[in-house]
Amino acid sequence: MSYGELAVLENLDLVVQRSEVVVLLGPSGSGKTTLLRVVAGLRRPDSGRIRWGGEDLTDIAVHRRGVGLVFQDNALFPHRDVEDNVAFGLRVAGVPVGSRIRQVAEMLRLVGLDGFAARSVDTLSGGEAQRVALARALAPGPRLLLLDEPFGSLDRVLRDRLVGEVGDLLRSLGQTALHVTHDRDEAFAIADRIAVLGKGRIQRIGTPAEVWAEPGTVYVARCLGHVNLVELDSRGRCPLGRLAEGAGTVLVHGDRVVIGPSGDGGGPAGTVVESVFRGEITLVRVRVGDLVIGVPSTAGVDVGSEVTVILEPGAVVPLD
């Protein structure tokens, strides 16, 4: 898939299992939204096919693919009330009025909007509007739900709450979904599997725990928010000691690093250069030689403190 001479997607192969939520994670320009549009039928691929089981959807119109779409701007119909917005797909499908009313009521209940049927959409908050958009997409019973940055315009607190609720809802319904985001916290909270996109390809795919523990490459590690990316010399050494057989970059998992009182032995000496309180943990940054690493701690450590840095088993992961 390309735009002019710019290749956006190239040699990409993705399989989504039934009832699975797959998150496409990556920065702007990585190709994730283009991939979603191709799956939806809003763009035709230059090559390759889109299949659902044994059915080829590549040349099938959007409205015949059995997909539901939720976008960041929610795209609600301003001249219709909440009930009419949610009922839109059911009306197009020819669902009888009585069944339509019952299904709309059930969808509003599922998204936490009981009693909102007669509300005008221009009276809704951002979070309420996205719930209506989700209910509208789910009402016809799509075999695949596509979500393109649906929480991107919401504030952090509301986003976190909705992400958790939507993840629970999709799983309770057994809904197959493909979700696009650039927010790693959102990806970790909602995904069964995460596919990290870069340069038009899937750079890493796996469960949230798998991709976090072993990102595989420097690019993926950065997309996931890892900060302790350490360059080694030709002997595999850095101020923390010898971490590999030769030159390269490794990830040091901060949650597998222990900082203790100076002189305890077992590791190199360091100095605390920053200690930032973040609720349940304090992020401590320690300088060892010319290297600074971040270590989450359950207790605050004073800036300027001299400490010993100990790497636990599994702390070091090689990266390509």
pLDDT, average across residues 161-190: 93
| pLDDT at position 36 over 70 | yes
What is the per-residue pLDDT across 240-254, written as a single tens digit (0 to 9) for each? Answer: 999 999 999 999 999
Closest CA to 254 of 218, 282, 233: 282
**45 confidence band (pLDDT: 50, 70, 90):** confident
Per-residue model confidence as pLDDT tens digits over 184-235: 999 999 999 999 999 889 999 999 999 999 999 999 999 999 999 999 999 9
Q: How far apart are CA 261 and CA 270, in angstroms?
A: 10
> What is the C-alpha separation between 295 and 283, in angstroms, rounded?
6
In sign, the C-alpha dihedral spanning 255, 250, 224, 268 is positive
Q: What is the pLDDT of residues 85-109, one digit of tens each?
A: 999 999 988 899 999 999 999 999 9
Domains annotated for the chain, with CATH where assigned, are 2-215 (3.40.50.300), 227-319 (2.40.50.140)
Asked whether 107 and 117 are in contact (CB, 8 A), the reply is: no
Q: What percent of the chain has a predicted confidence (pLDDT) above 70?
A: 98
Check residue 3 and give its pLDDT.
57
DSSP annotation of 153 reads T
In this predicted structure, the answer to whether residue 266 has a pLDDT above a threshold of 80 is no
Q: Looking at residues 282-301, what average pLDDT do you find?
A: 91
Q: Can you say whether the dihedral through the CA atoms of 17, 147, 209, 158 is positive or negative?
A: negative
Contact 193, 212 (CB under 8 A): no
Rg (CA), the chain: 24
Spatial CB neighbours of 36, under 8 Å, sequence gap ≥ 6: 24, 146, 148, 178, 180
- CA 156 vs CA 5, 119, 135, 149, 162: distances in Å: 37, 25, 22, 13, 10
- On whether the CB atoms of residues 250 and 232 are closer than 8 A, the answer is yes
The verdict on pTM exceeding 0.85 is yes
CA 40 to the chain's CA centroid: 19
